[in-house]
Amino acid sequence: MQKDSRDFLLELLRTPSPSGYEFNIQKKWLKYTEKYADRTETDIGGNAIAVLNPKAKFKVLLAGHCDEIGFIVTRIDGDGFVYFSPVGGISHKVAPGLRVEILGEKEIVTGVIGVNAEHHGGLKDKFEFDDLFIDCGFRNKKQAEKFISTGDYAVYSSEITELKNGLISSKALDDKSGSFIVAEVIKRLKGQPLNVGVYSVSTTSEETGLQGAYFASTGIEPDLAIACDVTWATDYPTVNRSKYGDYTIEGGPVLAVGSPVSVKINKMLKAAAKELKIGIQTEVTPRITGTDADRIRFTNKGVPVALVSLPIRYMHSPVETASMKQIENVIKLLVGFIKNMTGKENLKPLE
């Protein structure tokens, strides 16, 4: 991976973007992709869109969401301690003792999620978000309200860590890795002969309802869509592989199979993977995928969809972990898939 591409991925991971507060990351995404796209644009849902070959009749939508799980301030008590609720599927169990950043109107305020000392009884075995609070060092509510307000968002404050064997650990790989990948596909396809229009979209609010994907697809009216997201790697202790499947962090991109997913698109993806000598893993999604693909496929007259996922460990935690090699493989797979398209593909399953 080129240095500027890697730097862009790290910049996305460092930029706070909880669902509903994606403005700053989208501006960075547009600045990066405008160097490679034929045009860039935004829409009413806050999506950032980069387009190649816009005159092509056949349109391919690639969706990777840029929003991350986080918190929202619900109240400030008289002593200046901050209480909060989750934004997205974030677990309260990993929160105690961690640093957070509150995205105040004037500045980002650092705080810690307080933990009762073991000498004072410790944290009770059963607790909820209502039992937790953030300590920013304020002396009282009046002082706190000079910096933050009810309704402000917050995210974990964590360092990006490089592990052995090309693994990377960070918050928000779900799904800033996907937002990065669809941008990188535009970069890699620039100047290539294309038979289809490519619409890469950094979508918003996937973690809280998939609404960004809906706005993107209704506006673009694609003929085919691929959601680029993450899925659960199960190759670490405590995971019941008999129940949750056997997916390894270095085993290759993961294709979803099941009723929401187009068999024909998957066949094309598998052909591209074979051509490129990229290993493929398969996950079963019999009813829904739990990704942008679910909302996209019900737009307009219906859109055939596929889901290509990056396997990660420790999902929805501050230490999500992925393989840089597999990020690269997802990019190569999507680039190869698009380069192979004729623009005359018939995706009706009975024809």
The catalytic residue positions are 206
The CA-based angle 335-340-341, given to 5 degrees, is 105
Closest C-alpha to 267, from 204, 314, 337? 337
Helix, strand or coil, per DSSP, at residue 219:
helix
Q: What tokens appear for 110 in the block?
A: 């650092």
The residues, any chain, with a CB within 8 Å of residue 110's CB and separated by 6 or more, are 99, 100, 101, 102, 136, 157
The backbone torsions φ and ψ at residue 78, rounded to the nearest 5 degrees and listed phi first, read -60, -25
Q: Which residues contact 322 (CB under 8 A, 6 or more apart)?
A: 167, 168, 173, 177, 230, 249, 310, 311, 312, 313
Q: Residue 80's closest CA among 147, 10, 28, 6?
A: 147
Spatial neighbors of 347 by CB under 8 A, at least 6 apart, are 223, 224, 262, 264, 265, 304
Alpha-carbon distance 209 to 268, whole Å?
29
Q: Beta partners for 200?
A: 50, 62
Residue 61's DSSP bridge partners are: 199, 225
Q: Of 47, 108, 31, 1, give the one whose Cα is nearest residue 295.
A: 47
Structure-token pair, residue 45: 């849902």
What string of DSSP letters covers 28-50?
A: HHHHHHTTTSSEEEE-TT--EEE
Which CA distances in Å does 75 have to 139, 145, 150, 153? 15, 10, 6, 12
